A and B are shown apart, each in its own frame.
Chain A
């Protein structure tokens, strides 16, 4: 790729460039293979299967798409979820991932490669992580040259944070969205560097793909305006910036509005307002530059005062309108997830349904080390490297890392956005460090061998920084780029462009390090990289490859496989009627519809808080009340996940407090305090009666005492509080092999209603005497 820029063919430099290009293509291919194959641990260790929860929904949607075509998918009204409300899948789903996998499947099938939809879905994520690492190469190359690009791509190919979301089988939006994110950023930088409308259009299209793929597109539409604003404020406004920014906002917003799930939100919600504000500002600035060019300085001053005063008024009005609009909407115009980004405590305060998802919690420190490992230490070095010299492109990546660090600190999930930024920064840092060390080794070696030959020495010092990839070329790139700006801005632009090159020459002299130090430092860097690789492979193999529907545990007598989930979903699909409704906590909704093909009441798409609260209330109510709630929803079966027998910690009893909170948020008769003994959540004999009588407790621990005679719960590490009890309104119909999934059927209403004579009989004496006293009209 760099070959296009190579100056004169035939010279040794050109030869070396050509060789370098072939080599970098080869390296890129290898990086792609690495990115793909490191994500296959899950297939090798388990099987080729869709993972976790959301991927099952995406899989089901893709199946529908491949069977019925795109129009049916667009208009799909799914009556199997959210019974009885149903869900308009076509209008509420980000279609990017599904369409991508569906297209891949279609293309393969038309090439007579008969892969199943499931296989395509399983391998979409690894394929796209290869694409993502190539996109990272392109982006970093635009910022700091191809050396940094290769380093960043290699880092990204195996960064654990990204692996966690893109192992084979983890068929989720993020799998393609990270590629789209990086590629959009690359095209933005490319447009910024070239000022080409072609790339600007491509950029809008890439943004469109991102909008199709993931709700995280708001990150782009906020980050790019921020960068544009930063450039304007720091006096870096140029027509290139205008070309990079304005078409993106106009085309991007139009395209985003085409995605059904976004629709008018693209202009109505405040996540998008920043881009419109900056759009106005950039036009004002462009106008000012234009007028400045036309008018004489004196006239310009008059004009400025005029425009500023009018502009202030207009701005004030616009801001006032915006504030009024935002304030008039109930959530202040911000959706809950976005609000919890700005105020990390927002969700846990007001929206239990968002806070209940573990990936919406703030991360812990170890998770940073786990997810980005040594990159955490390389990032600061990368930031420093970006400041010498600071270009439009490098300021963008600096902004990117700053924002993503903040956001990742709010929500674990957004660690994923941080990972590419960290990889780019670390790639830059590594490459710069390698430059300096190899450069100085070369210089020192050259100085040793040819100390007498001056000319050789000169050429080597001149060539070393230039050819060894990044630094020199970027300087050159900068100069080429900087020559294009409009005539008016030229003088200003020229200065900073010249300064760094002078500076860097001075630096290069100063940065020549002693030979030994360079070699030791190089070795240390390589060791650091080796540790990173070891950690990543370990993370990919051990930590992030579990599909979570099949569990394994290693004990002294060998490997245990817990396949209870699929066992019970298969039971449901074989033993229940097609139209039966299955109630469970919403985590298992997607899996039930996808694997058991049964209608569910709530699922992982949390758009209706009341409906989830209804199920939460049923789970936290006593048996009879729960039966009534479920019966009113036509529920036939209730499914609970129970880990007490084998020690599976993420079971329903551990999630139960969230059910209480979410239920209590809508139905105030459910109070969290009733379930806690002195603020402690417990299920042993100290537990509150409300807790011991609620449906979740009963369904989880029904007949549990029969297993070991004591009812010892291995997750809570205690004996359960209420051991022998009967169910009156539910009957157990299925319990999986390790008791992880228990399915109960609602008993039909009694055929007869019994009289009360028997009850009275036991109380005869007391009841009679009290009654006779009360009722006697003759005494």
Chain B
């Protein structure tokens, strides 16, 4: 693994001009992003968001969602590292794209920002479902909140939500706290609680519900309260990241620029939290933050440096692993005190928290348990917002060799004594018996 990444680094050194903008193991940030719009006017109405991306070095390629020349890959190679779909009403995508090819795009480790809206098409809903997010089935429904709406909501139907219920994660939303509430107008979605890959980033308040604002409620709403998620993220098992938002307007210049005052709250903000929110979220989703990389697992006996092919029970060993975090530009040492290693055979026999030297090296030492078998060093690191690290390395543990046992056990000395005196006694006895007449 180390060799591979090293050689990749070497190759990329030579091909730097060609590859500098591409996505690789060593440089996980996306570079080429395809933006699919259902109307090219979105390009200008959402320019702040797109410009922040451009200013961070992204190469945006705007296309109409129904463009017949659309293609994500050519000759088996993906042309883009990321995909932004701001086309809520598109019934079918142009070219060779469909919901399956987008799912495959995500399965190849690439990232996606998907935004739906009221009257979102089945296609968009389908893609969201593939990612584990269920939009309200009633396509005319919107999130309505009669308590935490934005006072600037001129329509008076309380569909412009001002929400400040963020996920508590510095990794996803950045270190600086988002002070102003985020304005949201759009469709609600829900997550399956048993799905541990998706996460609510922006939740609705307990008083929110999802319904058609222009018609009377004939039956109680399907989605209510904090079960409603406004913006969710999904990190797939291969660390592909997906942001799913129920509102395209969330990203729009209008909401970014507008001031916000949450109903019933005295705090009035000049600018809504939208800009900070979408910028930080886009940093996360395009792997500028929270992306971890681990070197190979290194282990050896205490006092040695080479990795043995097999351990003996009760050996003392030292274990280390290097973990780095991608800062958007370079790999920085990852610092945490909760990385654990398991010495695992069907169940963890040893579970130890690794200590770090703050330079990216995590290490510990422990004694091999008194059980032989084929063990694994396992580092399973799943922390909110960070990419998942799942490393394992197999190592057999053998019992003592025949000559590694204690030869003379102190407690057995009476028996040794008995044995030898019997032998001597027998010898003397036979001598006396035979020759003493």
Contacts and interface: CB of A to CB of B under 8 A. Distances in A.
Interface of A: 71, 74-75, 77, 79, 83-86, 88, 90, 260, 579, 599, 632-633, 749-758, 760-761, 764, 772, 775-778
Sorted from nearest, which 4 A-B pairs have the closest CB atoms? A77-B398, A79-B396, A755-B129, A757-B134
Contacts of B236: 751-752
B131 A752 contact: yes
Interface size class of B (residues with CB under 8 A): 35 or more
A633 B344 CA distance: 11
A50 B400 CA distance: 32
Given A75-B402, A756-B134, A85 B129 contact: no
B372 A86 contact: yes
Interface of B: 103, 106-107, 125-126, 128-135, 137, 191-192, 195-198, 219-220, 234, 236-238, 240, 310, 345-346, 372-376, 394, 396-399, 401-402
Contacts of B394: 579
Nearest to A260: B402
26 contacts: A71-B402, A74-B402, A75-B398, A75-B402, A77-B396, A77-B399, A84-B376, A86-B373, A86-B396, A88-B372, A599-B374, A750-B237, A751-B107, A751-B238, A752-B106, A752-B107, A752-B130, A753-B132, A753-B196, A755-B131, A755-B133, A755-B134, A755-B191, A757-B128, A758-B129, A760-B134
A579 B395 CA distance: 11
Contacts of B198: 753
B220 A772 contact: yes
B50 to A, nearest CB: 27
Nearest to A579: B394
A79 B310 CA distance: 10
Contacts of B103: 752
A777 to B, nearest CB: 7
A753 B195 contact: yes
Contacts of B125: 757
B396 A761 contact: no
A750 B128 CA distance: 16
Contact of A85 (B128, B238, B373): B373
A751 B236 CA distance: 6
B135 A757 contact: yes
Contact of B220 (A90, A749, A775): A775
Contact of B128 (A71, A84, A755, A760): A755
Given A77-B310, A86-B372, A772-B220, A752 B134 contact: no
Contacts of A755: 128-134, 191-192, 195
Contact of B374 (A86, A761, A764, A778): A86
A778 B374 CA distance: 60
B225 to A, nearest CB: 12
Nearest to B191: A755
Contact of A753 (B192, B373, B376): B192
B1 to A, nearest CB: 14
A297 to B, nearest CB: 27
Given A77-B396, A758-B129, A775-B220, 10 more contacts: A84-B376, A86-B373, A90-B402, A632-B346, A751-B106, A752-B107, A755-B128, A755-B130, A772-B219, A777-B220
B376 to A, nearest CB: 8
Contact of A84 (B107, B134, B238, B345): B345
A90 to B, nearest CB: 8
Contacts of B240: 751
B219 A776 contact: yes
Given A754-B130, A757-B129, A757-B135, A84 B375 contact: yes
A764 B394 CA distance: 49
A777 B197 CA distance: 32
A751 B192 CA distance: 16
Contacts of A761: 137
Contacts of B398: 75, 77, 86, 88
Contacts of B196: 753
B135 A753 contact: no
A584 to B, nearest CB: 18
A84 B346 contact: yes
A740 B164 CA distance: 63
In the complex, which of the residues B234, B346, B397 has the most CB atoms of chain A within 10 Å of its own CB atom? B346
B200 to A, nearest CB: 14
In the complex, which of the residues A750, A754, A757, A775 has the most CB atoms of chain B within 10 Å of its own CB atom? A757
B192 A756 contact: yes
B132 A752 contact: yes
Contacts of A775: 220
A729 to B, nearest CB: 15
A83 B131 contact: no
B137 A764 contact: yes
B402 A753 contact: no
A579 B394 CA distance: 9
B135 to A, nearest CB: 7
A84 B220 contact: no
Contact of A75 (B131, B373, B401): B401
Contacts of A776: 219-220
A751 B237 contact: yes
B374 A85 contact: yes
A750 B130 CA distance: 11
Contacts of A753: 132, 192, 195-198
B310 A754 contact: no
A85 B103 CA distance: 40
B132 A754 contact: yes
Contacts of B372: 77, 86, 88
A775 B224 CA distance: 11
Contacts of A83: 374
